[in-house]
Amino acid sequence: MDIEKEKRAEFIDLYSEWFDFEEHVALYSLPWKKRMQADLIMTPKRAYSQYSFAIEVKNKVYWKPANYADAIAQASFYNYCRIEGGSNKGRIISASFLHKDTVGIEQREQ
C-alpha cells in the first residue's frame, strides 16, 4: 500500500504549472556508492530546466522531534545523486526538499 500517494498528488497539483514531475525514481549516490529512491523528481519547465530536484514526501500529521531529524536526513541524502531512471536519467540532483503535511501540526507538551 502506498501511504504517500495522495500527498504526492497534492504536491504535484500545487506545482505542476512550473515543474514536470516523475514519481518513485531510482537514484545512485556517488559519494556513498548506494542506491536510493526519491518520492518525486521535479524539473523546472522553463528557466533553469537544467536542474533537477528531489522531494521526500511524508504524510504523518503528528510527529515527535526525532521524526523530523530522520526525514530531513533522508531528504538530504538525495543531494548530488545521479538519476538512474525516467526522462531525467543521468542528471545530478541539485537540491532536495522535505514535503510534510502541515494540517494538524501541534507542539508536543513538555
> Does residue 41 sit within a domain?
yes
> Does residue 80 sit within a domain?
yes
> Does residue 85 sit within a domain?
yes
Note the pTM of the prediction, 2 decimals. 0.84
Q: How many distinct structural domains can be found in the chain? A: 1
Give pLDDT tens digits for 45-66: 988 889 999 999 988 766 777 7
> Does residue 71 sit within a domain?
yes
Nearest to 65 by CA among 103, 98, 108, 110: 108
Give pLDDT tens digits for 10-33: 999 999 999 999 999 999 998 889
Parent domain of 96: 5-100
* Alpha carbon distance 57, 108 (integer Å): 22
> Does residue 88 sit within a domain?
yes
